[in-house]
Amino acid sequence: MTSLTIHDCCCSDAPEITVPNRRIGQKLGGEVVLECVIDAVPTASHYWTRDSLPVALSSKYVTDEFDELDGRVTLRLNIRNLQSTDYDDYQCVAANELGRTQKTVTLYGSLASLTNSYIIKHNTVACLFFTNYIWA
Q: Say which CATH number the domain at 54 has.
A: 2.60.40.10
- Asked whether residue 135 is domain-assigned, the answer is no
- Asked whether residue 27 is domain-assigned, the answer is yes
- Asked whether residue 116 is domain-assigned, the answer is no
- Asked whether residue 125 is domain-assigned, the answer is no
| Cα–Cα distance, 38 to 95 (Å, whole number) | 10
Whole-number pLDDT of residue 99: 95
pLDDT per position as a tens digit, 69-92 = 888 999 999 999 999 999 999 999
Whole-number pLDDT of residue 135: 35
- Asked whether residue 60 is domain-assigned, the answer is yes
Residue 21's pLDDT band (cuts 50, 70, 90): very high
What range defines the domain where residue 70 resides? 9-109
- Asked whether residue 123 is domain-assigned, the answer is no
Cβ 32 vs Cβ 48: under 8 Å: no
Residue 3 has pLDDT above 90, yes or no: no
Structural domains of the chain, count: 1
| Cα–Cα distance, 94 to 128 (Å, whole number) | 33
Model's pTM, two decimal places? Answer: 0.75
Whole-number pLDDT of residue 71: 87
